[in-house]
Amino acid sequence: MQYDEKVRGDDLIAVGGRRTLEEASSIRGHVQIINAKTGEVVREFDNLVVTVGKQQAAKLWNGVATDPMKYIALGTGTTPADASDTALESEITTNGGGRTAGTCSVDGATAKIEATFNFTGDLAITEIGLLDAASDGNLGCRQVFAVLNVKDGDQFIFRWEITFS
C-alpha cells in the first residue's frame, strides 16, 4: 500500500511524494565498537535486522516470546549479512570473544545493548550478531565488516542501538 506523506515529528501529513507503509515504519540497528582503554570509536555501522529478529520483536510485543535480544556474539564469517540469516557464519567461542550478555536500556523508541569484551588472545573479528539466548537462540541482527584485529589484553565495548520508527 502506498500513500502520500510528509513527516513532521511523529505525524504523517498528506502531501506529495510516495512511500510505502513499510518505508515509513521500520526497525533499524546501529553498532559502535569502542576501544575501552582509549574511548576511541574504531568501527561504526548500521546493521541488518534479519527476518527472525523482526518476528521476535512482534512476539515480544504480544508476550508470545519473553527472551530479550541482549546477547552479543562475535564471529569470523565473511558472507554478507542477509535477511534470511539465522546464525553467525562462524561464531567465536575462545580468547574472550564468546557470546556475552549485554546491559540493556531504553531511550524513547530505541533499545540499547552494550557489552565489554576482555580478549585473552588474538582474534580477527569480521561479523557481529545480536541474539536472545546465551547459546543457540534466535538471531535478531547481523552484520559483516572489515576485519578488527584484537590481541591478548585488548578491551572493546560493543554498543548496539535498535530504533523503532
Residues 60-90 have pLDDT tens digits of 999 999 999 999 999 999 999 999 999 999 9
What is the distance between the alpha carbons of residues 66 and 60, in angstroms, rounded to a whole number? 6
- On whether residue 38 sits in a domain, the answer given is yes
Is residue 17 situated within a structural domain? no
Residue 23 has a pLDDT of 56
Could you give the CA distance from residue 77 to residue 123 in angstroms, rounded to a whole number? 12
Residue 63 one-letter amino acid: G
pLDDT > 90? residue 123: yes
Structural domain includes residue 4: no
User: pTM above the 0.75 mark?
Assistant: yes
Contact 165, 25 (CB under 8 A): yes
Burial of 93 (0-12, 13-18, 19+ CB in 10 A): exposed
Q: Is residue 156 part of a domain?
A: yes
- By percentage, how much of the chain surpasses pLDDT 90? 83
Number of domains, the chain: 1
Residue 21 lies in a domain: no
Do 69 and 128 meet the contact criterion of CB atoms below 8 Å apart?
no
145 occurs within a structural domain: yes
> Is there a domain that residue 11 lies in?
no
Domain that holds residue 62: 27-164
Give the end-to-end CA distance of the chain in Å, rounded to a whole number.
18
d(CA 56, CA 59): 5
**pLDDT at 20 (0 to 100):** 54
Q: For 128-154, what is each residue's pLDDT tens digit?
A: 999 999 999 999 999 999 999 999 999
Q: Specify the pLDDT at position 18.
A: 53
Average model confidence (pLDDT) for the chain? 88
Q: How many CB atoms lie within 10 A of CB 117?
A: 23
- pLDDT top residue among 123 and 5: 123
